[in-house]
Amino acid sequence: MLLPDIDATRDLAASLAPLARRGDVIGLVGPLGAGKTTFARSFIGALGGTDLVPSPTWSLVEQHATGAGDVWHFDLHRLERADDVWELGLEDALADGITLIEWPEIVERLLPPARLTLRLDHAGTGRTVTLEPGATWGSRLQEVARDG
């Protein structure tokens, strides 16, 4: 799907956010500047979190209280070993929150198969996104497509 501008990325995040449930994982895959952090910020904001969502590039993880519960935002670009993610609180995030993970490839084997993966890429001045839904996400996305 084509996202012609930053507002389209924000709109996509706002439309997916209400579908998320505690225990969900959303993987954000793509090169630098593809819109992963923009998506995460808009997703958190759509759930009632703060509009001032810092990028976890340096801290590796930020936890945000929202109306839907805690949203954990991981940026694993600088993570050296997959097992280091446990020290960042991944276990708590998976158990109690909604988890957004930028650069999830490094911890792929540790993530539940029912996750939603968004593959973002550059496309001229816009972006492309491909949604790869796990089992529970597939039915939720179909429901939205029928209603929308």
Q: Are 54 and 147 in contact (CB under 8 A)?
A: no
The domain containing residue 8 runs over which residues? 2-147
The CATH number linked to 22 is: 3.40.50.300
Residues 13-51 have pLDDT tens digits of 999 999 999 999 999 999 999 999 999 999 999 998 766
Count of domains for the chain: 1
Mean pLDDT of 71-83: 89
What pLDDT is attached to residue 144? 65
Instruction: Please give the structure tokens belonging to residue 35.
Output: 């819109």
Q: Please name which of 33, 26, 65 lies closest in space to residue 48, comparing C-alpha atoms.
A: 65
**Would the pLDDT of 148 be above 60?**
no
5 vs 80 pLDDT, higher one: 5
Mean pLDDT of 91-109: 92
Instruction: Please enumerate in sequence order all residues whose Cβ is within 8 A of that of 144, keeping only pairs 6 or more positions apart, or say none.
Output: 15, 19
Q: Please name which of 11, 26, 9, 38 lies closest in space to residue 140, comparing C-alpha atoms.
A: 26
d(CA 138, CA 124): 29
d(CA 39, CA 13): 6
103: DSSP letter: S
Mean pLDDT of 120-140: 92
